[in-house]
Structure 1
Amino acid sequence: MDQFPQCETLLLEKQGPALFVTINRPDVRNAMSLQMVAELSTVFSQVENDASIRAVVIRGADGHFCAGGDIKDMAGARGQKSAEGEEDPFYRLNRAFGQMIQQVNESSKVVIAVTEGAVMGGGFGLACVSDVAIAGPTAKFGMPETTLGVIPAQIAPFVVERIGLTQARRLALLGLRVDADEACRLGIVHQVAESEVEIDELLGHAVERVRQCAPNATAQTKALLHRVGHESMSGLLDSAAAKFAEAIRSDEGSEGTLAFMQKRPASWAASE
């Protein structure tokens, strides 16, 4: 990415193969505004075509990941009137978030979430579409929507995909909040750090593992995993075999095989 997009709600910094995206609205515990949704969508659109970026790390400023939707946006939508034939403003607001979170979910890049403090509502949904999730000791996860008289409309399907229907029911229907250890047991996050230093160590290791894996093979693998359960198994395996044949004949496949035989790191694993 030669030119980062101009963002008011996000801080962007490229470090090696990773783009670090810091949600930067600390005065509202990094609550997700419509502007933030649009900026995240723009960032993920741009990185999709940037071969130098192989991972996107999302975290929040000043000790919180994201406290959910911005109440000001909801109040603004309540004050809008829909002209005849126009979409309801609440529908537009909610659906815009859903489109963004689906985009993050389907990104060809490895998405790493570093969760601390409040990880609520939309922030919880964002954590649930990450490929690797690390929790700090202060992290609290929850779906508080039902306690506010609304529903987790856009995040619920992703939560079910993440932890299964049984556990998603308990969290959503009771509006529960869980700590980092329980989030790890449920499968919301993969690792729990006991300190800021350990967060950095786990994050550094994850980014280094991304570097060791071939970019196109990683993207193709992620796409394959997303297809499981959405199409017939025999058809999926037929398609996967064709993708495997393409991969082994590709430049990456040739380089990976040669590097293994020569007992050296593959070209994509070299430090920048």
Structure 2
Amino acid sequence: MTEQDSIVLSEMRDGVLMVTLNRPKARNAMNGPMVTALQNILKDSAEDVSVRAIVLRGAGGTFCAGGDISDMAATAGDKTAIAAVNRRFGTLIEEANRFPKLLVTVLEGAAMGGGFGLACVSDVALATENCRFAMPEVAIGLIPAQIAPFVVQRIGLAQARYLALTGIAIDAGEAYRIGLIHHVETDASALEARLDTILAAARRAAPNAQQKTKTLVLDSPGTFGPDLLNQAAADFAEAITSPEGAEGTAAFVEKRLPSWAENGDRA
């Protein structure tokens, strides 16, 4: 097993790839090998039809404490090298944001800096009530260079300004209130139960329709207007006349589950 393999663990469970950030002694702070490993997982999973969703979490009771500052120290003050390291993380965030399948983050302990950014680009974010969230960069003389645009998109300009400019930490209840996360659970058992509910619903979603819907939702804020709606109409026609659409509509009429649904009754 290589360092890159051991730094991020992955396991397939019923069509869901369970991905775990595995640097617990560093509170899962992200370094270069971890970024590369996550990029490879996202790329491979996007192309693998057996993967219906990714669940991303951290080992040792912490999601992610942010970027590993020692990566910056290793560049010996070379501004070009520092910018390149920083930009690589931004590329990861872009790729996670546009991952064409469901991306779920399971947040425990802390989601700081880059971990905060990953939560902001997940489709579903679940947290235990003891999880803390922050953009602490300004407190150590840095800026949230790569995550700021995604934070603004997730929680709005007013909340992003408040958190980014103060570096203040908030609890899961406040994170839920401002729209950063979708569910707050009291303990690990409740968190796993909520995750099971989310994944059961995800398995009932038609894969191609889910991918097209994600693209439509992501494109809507910046391009709303006739062009977007024209493309959406064309995509709808393509969907309903596809084998997946034919199967889905037939299953609805016949009051049965479609072929891709793996578990549970229709929601």
- Report the TM range for the smaller structure's normalisation: over 0.9
What is the Cα deviation at residue 80 of structure 1? 5.6
- Whether contact under 8 Å (2:173, 2:184) holds in the other structure is yes
CA distance, structure 1, for counterparts of residue 214 and residue 154 of structure 2: 15
The residue that corresponds to 1:66 in the other structure is 64
2:147 is aligned with 1:149: no
- Name the structure 2 match of 1:125: 117
User: Which position in structure 2 is the counterpart of 1:13?
Assistant: 11
Q: 1:203-225 deviations in whole A, cap 9, x for unaligned?
A: 00111111011000000000011
Partner of 1:188: 180
SS at match of 2:74: helix
SS at match of 1:229: helix
Partner Cα separation in structure 2 for residue 262 and residue 225 of structure 1: 29
Query: 1:6, CA displacement in angstroms?
Result: 6.1
Partner secondary structure for residue 105 of structure 2: strand
Say which of 150, 160, 163 aligns to 1:158.
Answer: 150
Cα offset, 1:230, TM superposition: 2.0
Q: Counterpart amino acid of 2:179? A: G
Deviation at 1:7, TM superposition (A): 1.2
Give the match's secondary structure for 1:213. coil
The alpha carbon displacement at 1:51 in A equals 0.8
Q: Distance in 1 between matches of 2:132 and 2:209?
A: 34
Q: Is residue 255 of structure 2 the alignment partner of residue 255 of structure 1? A: no
Partner of 2:93, secondary structure, is helix
Deviation string for 1:147-181 (max 9, x for gaps)?
11010000000000000001100000011100000
Equivalent positions of 1:33-48 (< 5 A) are 33-48=31-46
Preserved contact between residue 4 and residue 34 of structure 2 (Cα < 8 Å)? no
2:86 paired with 1:109? no
User: What amino acid is the match of 2:81?
Assistant: P
Partner residue, 1:174: 166
Uncovered stretches (5+) of structure 2, i.e. residues with no partner: none
Instruction: Provide the C-alpha distance between the structure 2 equivalents of 1:231 and 1:172, rounded to a whole number of angstroms.
Output: 26
Q: Which residue of 2 aligns with 1:226?
A: 218
Query: What letter matches 1:190 in structure 2?
Result: H
Partner of 1:49: 47
SS in 1 for 2:111: strand
Structure 2 equivalent of residue 267 of structure 1: 259
For residues 82 and 6 of structure 2, the distance between their equivalents in structure 1, rounded to whole angstroms, comes to: 23
Q: Is the 8 A contact 2:125 2:181 kept in 1?
A: yes
Letter aligned with residue 145 of structure 1:
E
Match of 1:185, as an amino acid?
Answer: R
Q: Distance in 1 between matches of 2:92 and 2:199?
A: 23
Q: What amino acid is the match of 1:70?
A: D
Partners in 2 of 1:214 and 1:163 — Cα distance? 28
- TM-score, with normalisation over the residues of structure 2? 0.96
Number of matched pairs: 262
- Contact persistence 2:131–2:171 (CA under 8 A): yes
Matched to 2:56, the amino acid is I
Deviation readout 1:236-259 (Å, 9 max, x if unpaired): 001100000000000111000110
Residue aligned with 1:46, SS = helix
Task: Tell me how large the CA RMSD over aligned residues is.
Answer: 1.4
1:127 offset after TM fit, Å?
0.5
Gapped regions of structure 1 (runs ≥ 5):
83-87
Give how far 1:81 is off: 4.2
Runs of 4+ in 1 over 4 A off after TM superposition: none
Letter of the 1:19 counterpart: L
Secondary structure of the 1:266 match is: coil
| 1:176 counterpart letter in structure 2 | I
Alpha-carbon offset, residue 54 of structure 1: 1.0
Provide the C-alpha distance between the structure 2 equivalents of 1:229 and 1:126, rounded to a whole number of angstroms.
19
- Which amino acid in 2 is paired with 1:38? T
Residue identity in the other structure for 2:167: G
